[in-house]
């Protein structure tokens, strides 16, 4: 009975996270840009990405560059800000998406702050645009840092395996005694 339970437990589908792909994307003005990266390091180079609207209609397709980045200036013919879905397919089951709204990233990172009310005209607009431009790389870096594999994750995995092996050896020892 225990062996059947163990076999059922091991047969349960569990998602693998060793090479999980993530997408950081941001909508800045009339341009969608960002990059894809693997948890633990590395960026997929020359892989297809797709930008779709909220209904799933493809607006743009392309390949990531040598840094795993993508950039698409949203043409004026696309009506309204709306929502966009960026999907990167690095093959072998590594697919990730990020949903963007007019306010900024919705899934990949916290939304970019809205610009404060402008009272001094051009100076406030220039400062606001510069701050928003500088925040996108910082949000991307924070997303990558939150997603990386840490030493504590590796140590926890090793001790989990050791604990499971110890439990199996204990069960085998009890079986021999009984």
Q: What is the pLDDT of residues 127-168, one digit of tens each?
A: 777 777 777 677 777 777 776 667 787 888 899 999 999 999
Residue 85: pLDDT over 70:
yes
Higher per-residue confidence, 1 vs 62: 62
Average pLDDT over residues 51-69: 90
Instruction: Look at residue 92 and tell me whether its pLDDT is greater than 50.
Output: yes
87-113 burial string, b = 16+ CB within 10 Å, else e? bbbbeeebebbbbbeeebbbbbbeebe
pLDDT of residue 43 exceeding 70, the answer is: yes
Nearest to 48 by CA among 12, 80, 94: 94
| Domain 21-147: CATH class, spelled out | mainly beta
Q: What is the pLDDT of residue 111?
A: 46
CA-to-CA distance for 72 and 32, rounded, in angstroms?
A: 5
CB count within 10 Å of CB 65 equals 13
């Amino acid at each position: 009975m225990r062996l059947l339970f163990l076999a059922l437990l091991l047969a349960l589908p569990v998602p693998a996270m060793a090479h999980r792909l993530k997408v950081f994307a941001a909508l800045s003005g009339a341009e969608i840009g960002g990059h894809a990266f693997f948890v633990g390091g590395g960026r997929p180079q020359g892989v297809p990405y797709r930008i779709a609207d909220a209904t799933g209609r493809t607006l743009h397709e392309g390949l990531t560059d040598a840094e795993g980045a993508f950039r698409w200036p949203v043409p004026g013919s696309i009506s309204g800000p709306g929502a966009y879905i960026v999907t990167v397919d690095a093959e072998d089951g590594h697919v990730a998406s990020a949903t963007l709204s007019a306010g900024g990233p919705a899934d990949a990172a916290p939304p970019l702050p809205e610009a404060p009310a402008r009272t001094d005209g051009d100076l406030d607009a220039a400062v606001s645009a510069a701050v928003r431009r500088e925040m996108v790389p910082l949000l991307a870096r924070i997303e990558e840092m939150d997603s990386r594999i840490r030493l504590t994750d590796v140590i926890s995995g090793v001790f989990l395996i050791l604990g499971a092996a110890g439990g199996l050896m204990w069960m085998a020892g009890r079986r021999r005694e009984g």
